[in-house]
Structure 1
Amino acid sequence: MLRSHLSLLESGSARFSSSPVFKVPQLDASGSIESWKSVSYTQFKSDVESYARHWTRVLRRDGIPLRSVIGIWVGGFTYVDVLHIYGISRAGYIPQLFSLRLPNPVVVYELLERADAKALIYDVTFEHVLGESPVPIHSAAVVADDTSDETLPNVPTPNKDDLAFIFHTSGSTSGRPKLVPCNYKWVETVVLKSTQISRPKDPNRQDVTVCMGSMCHIAQSFMFIGTLLYGSCVIQPTKISFSPEELIDMITRCGLNRLNQFASFLANNLRASRSNPKLLYLLSGLDDIVYSGLPLAREEEDWAYKNGMKLRNLFGSTECGGMLLSIGAAGRNPGLLQSLDGFTYRFIPTDSATPESGPQSTARLLELIIPAESPDCPDVSLRHADGDFHTGDLFQEASPGLYISRGRDDDWIKSETSLRCDTKAIEENALAMCGNLIAECIVVGSGRPSPVMFVEPAVDTDHAKLKKEIIRKTRHFHARRYLHERITSVDMVVIVPRQTLPRTATKGNIRRKAVEESFKTQLDQIFERVH
């Protein structure tokens, strides 16, 4: 029988009834954390069913049949957000999840239409921008405890091909993200993967971890299934880039023993531990530190291993979830990645050498391919013409079955929160709209909150005026994109003299990674000033 997020909630509420599943911060008047409120498995199940009854009544009144797709456009960071998502699912509908990082309702409406969605539940902060919606809309407000006799459907025994969720790629292609339909066969693979990623080190103690990000994105939805599987508890921090002080508080007051973070945010805490002995001691005592999204800088990784931190790198994607896991501190080379047990992937040679190597290098790059027969191969709409899913992620094989990540084979970068950004599309739009002003441009920002465009001008003009003109001419293009992909401020445009940007020796192409490295100090200063 296939397991699902709903069946795990049912079994978890019976097995772990009084144990906390969430710890939610309670803030005082100044915004500081006063205490942490525990929500038990029993309470969570009851709240989900209360929200499910509410939405059953509302959507039935709209004449919307069961198993319809319902859009949910919320932040995904709060307990109430989780209740809306799981409540819609428990009511017998299919959640299509949008986060607040996609702030343009026109793009949301287009994606709702593509998924044949029948309604939209939206965060109240968007009420003023909704305009003419093609489907009925309802506010994602707090629902009073619904004790009505509204009948809920039984928790389904799903067929493997039944849709469970619709997510979206984190980067925009042709001006909008792609749909990522996830069926119950895919959800079962998440459960299987969680037995390796989320299994408690001590079965006699409840694990306590922390949210990686929004439940509208795959990373935290994936990890939360592991939480339910093992009766663990997840802390909802005040923000995903929580401070070292908040991390200390979560460890000492909430009992956090397993830290899950995107690499950009973990690096901040690792750097802080160099001058904070208490934080260093607490990090070294955690049962597990899992990071994802981007590689950690070698210096940070070495610091963690040197100080006894139990560090693991989980490599994954929106389409497939987690795929590769580093071998951890027990291995001679702890950062090397290997496929999760029970999943067989292909690593197909490309024609390129490693990005770091010179032109004489014979080191092979391998693209990660998810074969059609793999149970976690994504929906057919996302696959290549050969029937397999081509991730575009490149690796080098360090020894048989062990790999080092070497970035991507395309023009995408990953932001600070590991969301993807199509740099090539931004560059092409800038050149199309400002071709008489721009000789060359390159977009960078790997691991940063937003992209930055470096421009070599085509004309001799005032740099401040040139920046403003570029922003004006590209404004419409960026209005349709995720927040983490947008360049809408002159602060994010850097003008440099002609032939300043580093280029390849053979073709003269501007080297994106070399620009990142050469202008690192300037990029640091930009984000210190802006953020």
Structure 2
Amino acid sequence: MALRTHLTVLAESSSKYSSLPIFRIPVLNNKDQVQDWSIITYSQFQFDVELYARYWARTLKADGISRRSVVAIWSGGMVYNDWCHIYGIARAGYVPQLFSLRLPNPDIIYELMQKANAKALCHEPSYGSMLVNCPIPIHETIDIRGYDLSRAPLPPLVKPHSPSDTSMIFHTSGSTSGCPKLVPCSYQWLDAMITKAYHVRKPLTPGRQDVTNCIGSMCHIGQTFMLLGSLLHGACTIQPTRMDFGTVELMDMIIRCRLNRLQQWPAFLAAHMRLSRQDPKVLALLCGLEEIFYSGQAMPRDDEEWAYKHNMQLRSCFGNTESGGAMLLSMIGGGRCNPSLRPVPGVKYGFFPIESAEQTETAYKNRNGTLLELVIMSDSPDCPDASLCKADGHFHTGDLFLEVAPGEYVARGRDDDWIKSYNSLRCDTKAIEDNVRMMCGALVANCIVVGNCRPSPALFVEPRAPMDADKLKKEILRKTRHFHSRRYMHERITSPELIIVVPENTLPRTATKGNIRRKAVEDAFKEDLDRIYASLA
């Protein structure tokens, strides 16, 4: 059987659901408020993808770039023009390497393009001034709808020579050794992702077109996965004005666009939950949704309790970039907090006991059972590229779970030094701490990085000797500036407000080894952190 891709799925769906809306796009007034939601049909998107494919086939051929080459795309990935370019470059026969706004330093992009052997870079027009000394040809991702490209041939669809050929390239959401890792996606892996997306996005009401919203950028695996599921079932996806769209916009989506399946990160969803406590209309609209899908982190306990008290149809999902989207899902509804998760159909995962020094931090092992690490087995169809796996051939996620019933699990954090930002992107805290110790060892006796579910990390420091706090913060920023200039926006500490100086031996530590306890620091200084992040918003 031929391997499916996003392009074959789109072609089949555009034939089957030709006149149905595939996207609803906001039309803004002169105050940047949503005035209306325009409709893009399945057949229109297919037409536009082929139009963009003609454009890129002609443009890249003029550069002497052969088909099957890697072409980097640097865009926000949040608007219709971006989606046409991403699909159009693939339809022209090239391998998209996708970057989002969260890679602010072009030097890192150049390094990642070199690792992928990219032959051209297509970028949003506003980034052009940053791309000095780019080693490969660059082109702007302009809106070409309305261009007459009838004389530009549409190349035949590229078919893989082997199931292991690369179809697209993503990147990890956190930096390792100062740089994100490539996540090459083979055709076989993409086919497995499509199978998973089919199960995750099955319609909940037969005969009704599902309407959902973008959860993020198409340059990231999450939205790529969710759109695939929508395409498979002929659903419609709403493009919000921003990822953390407000409740007024959500209400408009529900009323005017008939949104019935909301999907958001918990930090963004929390704003709607807060308003639903005060506004009965908001509460009624949330309760009327067929699904409220969240991923990346657990929901705050009080939000969960409120939602279940009012019979909201919550569904929790666990996934990551390397696996190609969703891995574990809860049942819709369920009526209890911290619902258990089950592997999606067709995968092969292992849950193996760990031995970790951080077990004392969690306090779960002795009270509630053995902590298990989730491992994607090498023969699971969604096992990532070998370059991301350990020597045993399996992909070790570092994510910890408890088995609460046979085949059912609840998440219990990570077995490493990574935290997740408020939109579920990862940050390596140990790398930041090690850099502070290396560059500021004469000034800092000890330090710890916190910021789980926050927009960016914060650094707590215990000074080596008495020193003016403001002066110490400035010195730390100066000495670590180069390190942070190479990291994602959500991994950087560039504001003195995010450096908190406390007296030596103030931070909570473990009783045995005296290690600073990250979670305990988060809890002890929660009010201070709330105030700091609020002042920076």
Structure 1 unaligned runs (5+)?
none
Residue of structure 2 in register with 1:195 after alignment: 198
Q: Any conservation in 2 of the 1:328–1:334 contact (CA below 8 Å)?
A: no
Residue of structure 1 in register with 2:152 after alignment: 150
Query: Structure 1, residues 79-98: CA drift from partner, whole Å, max 9, x if none?
Result: 11111100100000000000
Structure 2 unaligned runs (5+)?
none
Residue of structure 2 in register with 1:234 after alignment: 237
The residue identity in structure 2 corresponding to 1:326 is S
Distance 1:298 1:117 in 2: 45
Q: Which of the residues 216, 221, 224 maps onto 2:219? A: 216
Moved more, 160-169 or 351-360: 351-360
Distance 1:141 1:523 in 2: 41
Moved more, 206-215 or 1-10: 1-10
SS at match of 1:100: coil
The alignment status of 1:347 with 2:348, answered yes or no, reads no
What does 1:323-472 align with in structure 2 at a 5 Å threshold? 323-330=327-334, 335-352=339-356, 353=359, 355-357=361-363, 361=367, 363-472=369-478
The residue identity in structure 2 corresponding to 1:421 is C
Shift of 1:344: 2.2
Distance 2:186 2:343 in 1: 22
Shift of 1:358: 6.9
Query: Structure 1, residues 302-327: CA drift from partner, whole Å, max 9, x if none?
Result: 21111111111110000002100013
> Aligned in 2, Cα 1:371/1:496: closer, same or farther, shift over 3 Å?
same
Q: Which of the residues 236, 244, 247 maps onto 2:247? A: 244
Distance 2:400 2:275 in 1: 31
Distance 2:476 2:35 in 1: 46
Q: Which of the residues 271, 286, 296 maps onto 1:268? A: 271
Shift of 1:334: 6.8
Residue of structure 1 in register with 2:289 after alignment: 286
Distance 2:479 2:252 in 1: 47
Q: Any conservation in 1 of the 2:54–2:155 contact (CA below 8 Å)?
A: no
Q: Any conservation in 2 of the 1:161–1:183 contact (CA below 8 Å)?
A: yes
Distance 1:186 1:355 in 2: 36
Distance 1:181 1:358 in 2: 36
The residue identity in structure 2 corresponding to 1:151 is P
Distance 1:505 1:354 in 2: 9
TM-score by length of 2: 0.96
Query: Structure 1, residues 54-100: CA drift from partner, whole Å, max 9, x if none?
Result: 11111000000000000001111111111110010000000000011
- How many percent identity over aligned positions? 55
Moved more, 187-196 or 226-235: 187-196
Query: Structure 1, residues 9-32: CA drift from partner, whole Å, max 9, x if none?
Result: 111111111111111111111111
Distance 2:78 2:98 in 1: 13
Distance 1:245 1:362 in 2: 42
Query: Structure 1, residues 424-466: CA drift from partner, whole Å, max 9, x if none?
Result: 1011111111111111111111111111111111121111111
> Aligned in 2, Cα 1:214/1:368: closer, same or farther, shift over 3 Å?
same
Distance 2:364 2:229 in 1: 42
Distance 1:486 1:264 in 2: 19
Q: Which of the residues 283, 302, 320 maps onto 1:317? A: 320
Shift of 1:492: 1.1
Residue of structure 1 in register with 2:24 after alignment: 23
Query: Structure 1, residues 90-112: CA drift from partner, whole Å, max 9, x if none?
Result: 00000000011001111100000
Q: Any conservation in 1 of the 2:440–2:479 contact (CA below 8 Å)?
A: yes
Distance 2:281 2:95 in 1: 45
The residue identity in structure 2 corresponding to 1:323 is M
> Aligned in 2, Cα 1:508/1:131: closer, same or farther, shift over 3 Å?
same
CA-based RMSD of the aligned residues comes to 1.5
Moved over 3 A (4+): 156-159, 330-334, 352-356, 358-362
SS at match of 2:362: coil
Query: Structure 1, residues 388-434: CA drift from partner, whole Å, max 9, x if none?
Result: 11111111111111111011111000111111001110111111111
Residue of structure 2 in register with 1:79 after alignment: 80
SS at match of 1:47: helix
Residue of structure 1 in register with 2:303 after alignment: 300
SS at match of 1:426: helix
> Aligned in 2, Cα 1:190/1:471: closer, same or farther, shift over 3 Å?
same
The residue identity in structure 2 corresponding to 1:426 is I
Distance 1:358 1:223 in 2: 33
SS at match of 1:392: strand
Distance 1:168 1:335 in 2: 30
Q: How many pairs are equivalent?
A: 531
Distance 1:398 1:88 in 2: 45
Distance 1:30 1:195 in 2: 39
What does 1:3-82 align with in structure 2 at a 5 Å threshold? 3-82=4-83
Q: Any conservation in 2 of the 1:23–1:254 contact (CA below 8 Å)?
A: yes
Query: Structure 1, residues 459-509: CA drift from partner, whole Å, max 9, x if none?
Result: 211111111111111100000000010101111111111111111111111
Distance 1:214 1:263 in 2: 16
Moved more, 426-435 or 356-365: 356-365
TM-score by length of 1: 0.97
Q: Any conservation in 1 of the 2:301–2:337 contact (CA below 8 Å)?
A: no
Query: Structure 1, residues 278-325: CA drift from partner, whole Å, max 9, x if none?
Result: 111111111111100111122211211111111111100000021000
Query: Structure 1, residues 107-150: CA drift from partner, whole Å, max 9, x if none?
Result: 10000000011000112222111111111111112124343222
Q: Any conservation in 1 of the 2:261–2:290 contact (CA below 8 Å)?
A: yes
Residue of structure 1 in register with 2:522 after alignment: 516
Distance 2:4 2:69 in 1: 21
